[in-house]
Amino acid sequence: MLEFAWPWLLLLLPLPVLAWWLLPPYRARQASIQVPFFDRLAAATGQTPQRGAVVLERRAVQMIAAVAIWTLLVVALARPQWVGDAVTREVSARDLILAIDISGSMDQRDFKASDGTTLTRLDGVKRVVRDFIARRKGDRVALILFGTRAYVQVPFTQDLQTAQQLLDQAGVGMAGQQTAIGDTIGLAIKTFAASTAKQKLLILLTDGNDTASRVPPEHAADIARQNDVTVYTIGVGDPAASGENRVDLAVLQHVADTTGGHFFRAEDGAQLQAIYADIDRLAPAKLQTLSWRPKLPLFQWPFGLAIAIGLLLWLWLLLGSEWRRMRSVSHA
């Protein structure tokens, strides 16, 4: 469908006619030859001297070309464009952060993968999380790694392949040997601060208890709730162990309950895969529909045609003048 971006400019079309009617004609004075016996010459020819003017005549082709050029230029200024059919697309309105524990205890080789092999806890988690990231079509995903300190490994992105690659590069102990759950939640809240998504989801996975945070996990969870951040917690450690190796299930449960999320317990790869499937079901992505109509600009066509007409008219007048000059020379 043809439309004009600035149709009001079409009001300029009658401007030359208005100028023709309302503005005074252009006048130019030229020097003339003075004849000392002008009166006798006028009497001899039978003419009466009077003031006069020479009105230059315009050829019909010049007037037609001028009207066409002006019309085309005004049409080009109005920016004609071809508007296509409406295109709609559904995109996710969710930002999701994966917080992965890489403290020293994640190096224990007691994690049974779904294929029966025994891996370190971190390697087993990577395998499952990698598949989970691959299914985040439309989501913006960020990755936080934490131990004694928490840091953003991947800022919000839809480049899922890069997020998977950077997750694979994570190693045990890169962020320290202890566990800082509360600080990790605080960093996630800060990362969400610039987000305009309707749904903000943090999935926190750990195999230890909080021993290094400056902010208690319970307090961090309350701040997350105030900022509309939902936290899903996953415990993969041993609650009967001691020290850094003991996972504090009660704290993880409290964090999830405070923010309106869910707590999960995973002991092997099959359970962890089922947990991430449950997260997809319990927290489906909110979609928003974007609609637009593609627009193809066409102003260059009338503009180019106006230039072509002007050049052809100039060439025609030039050739006509040259032809008349050569004709007059030949007659002389």
CATH of the domain at 229: 3.40.50.410
What does residue 101 show for φ and ψ, rounded to 5 degrees? -75, 125
Same domain? For 59 and 158 the reply is: no
Cβ contact 142:95 at 8 Å:
yes
- Cα gap 77→270, rounded to integer Å: 65
Per-residue model confidence (pLDDT) at position 303: 92
Same domain? For 264 and 322 the reply is: no
CA pseudo-torsion sign 299, 301, 304, 306: negative
Same domain? For 182 and 240 the reply is: yes
**Per-residue tens of pLDDT for the chain, all 332 residues:** 888 889 999 999 998 888 888 887 766 666 666 767 777 777 777 777 666 566 666 778 888 888 899 999 999 999 999 888 777 665 556 789 999 999 888 888 878 887 778 888 888 889 888 888 888 877 889 999 999 999 999 999 988 899 999 999 999 888 888 889 999 999 999 999 988 888 899 999 998 788 888 999 999 999 999 999 999 999 886 666 666 667 788 899 999 999 999 999 887 778 888 888 887 776 665 555 666 778 889 999 999 999 999 999 888 888 887 787 777 766 65
- Cα gap 190→101, rounded to integer Å: 18
Same domain? For 80 and 136 the reply is: no
Same domain? For 174 and 212 the reply is: yes
Same domain? For 27 and 101 the reply is: no
Same domain? For 55 and 171 the reply is: no
Q: Quick one: tokens of 173? A: 């102990």
Beta strands at 2-4 and 118-119: parallel, antiparallel or unpaired: unpaired
Q: Quick one: tokens of 330? A: 């030949």
Same domain? For 235 and 304 the reply is: no
Q: Which residue in the block uniquely carries the two structure tokens 């315009």?
A: 58
SS (H, E, C) 114-126: CCCCEECHHHHHH
Number of domains, the chain? 2
The residue range of the domain holding 32 is: 2-85+294-331
What is the H or E stretch that residue 83 is in?
Answer: strand 80-83
- Model confidence, pTM: 0.61
Same domain? For 283 and 311 the reply is: no
Q: Quick one: tokens of 129? A: 């999380």
Per-residue model confidence (pLDDT) at position 182: 94
Q: Which residue in the block uniquely carries the two structure tokens 């001691």?
A: 242
Same domain? For 118 and 9 the reply is: no
Per-residue model confidence (pLDDT) at position 205: 92
User: Around 185, how many Cα atoms within 13 Å sit in the side-chain half-sphere?
Assistant: 34
Same domain? For 303 and 285 the reply is: no
Same domain? For 238 and 274 the reply is: yes
